[in-house]
Structure 1
């Protein structure tokens, strides 16, 4: 009797293969990226660092200046990540890639995690007071229940 095994994606079977870290330039998001980097190194996983450039409601009136500002933030984040990985090269090697695009941060992280078949998502705790009432990206990710989510203070 021959048993057939279908080859399909199975999340979390042999440890994480892809860890998504959401960054926005805040201190807590950079701590989250560092934490995710440590997880990725120990597990031999790919670290996918994601910066979703927010589309501001008033962006249409401000025009290109908002887009230029978020592009500059993305470039600065990539430079910081490259600098950090160069400082520890040979000691703390991590496979990583950087993703950036415009949109809603929650939707962007969900889409990226789905596309990359992420095993875990790591984000920083919101530093905005209003998120206690409305709900932060971190809270929304946890409530979605689609991946293990680590929220770094």
Structure 2
């Protein structure tokens, strides 16, 4: 005879704690953010919204205000997310944070997922036709096999 206690079901302790979504202002990334927001709400997870600011050495070397432009994009994305969160706050409660990383989109999202300890990654499908041949960020994240990845069309 053993002194084992019967296993108990613990409500609300399983599932992802951090759901990360990559956004860049494109329609597909905003759909991905909405989808990830729904997942985070249902799972009571933190929604980590990540914008990867591209590093454009060529543009910067010619005097283009690259950092200012990408900062403006990040600010615009944050404003959209805040507005959406404000619209649904009486109906749904979603905990979210906005993070900005610099680099190429794939490398930035990998770094973000690692640093934020993401349990799941959500991205929008690429809207560029050439990515079918070269490989999109979403495909590269799936192939990395480090997190469950959801690609939203």
Q: TM-score, normalised by structure 2?
A: 0.88
Kindly state the Cα deviation for residue 64 of structure 1 after the two structures are TM-superposed.
Answer: 5.0
Structure 1 unmatched ranges of 5 or more: 1-12
Equivalent residue number for residue 23 of structure 2: 23
- In the alignment, is residue 41 of structure 1 matched against residue 37 of structure 2? no
* CA deviation map 1:101-126 (0-9, x unaligned): 22111111111111121110000000
Equivalent residue number for residue 87 of structure 2: 87
- In the alignment, is residue 138 of structure 1 matched against residue 149 of structure 2? no
Aligned partners of 1:60 and 1:93: how far apart in 2? 41
Within 5 Å, give how 1:69-148 maps onto structure 2. 69-148=69-148
**Alignment length (residue pairs):** 141
Kindly state the Cα deviation for residue 63 of structure 1 after the two structures are TM-superposed.
Answer: 3.2
Structure 2 unmatched ranges of 5 or more: 1-12
SS of equivalent residue, structure 1 residue 85 = helix
* CA deviation map 1:36-63 (0-9, x unaligned): 0000000000000000011124223343
Q: Which has the larger radius of gyration?
A: 2
Aligned partners of 2:107 and 2:101: how far apart in 1? 11
Aligned partners of 2:76 and 2:35: how far apart in 1? 19
Poorly superposed stretches of 4+, deviation over 6 Å = none
* CA deviation map 1:75-121 (0-9, x unaligned): 00000000000011121110000001221111111111111211100
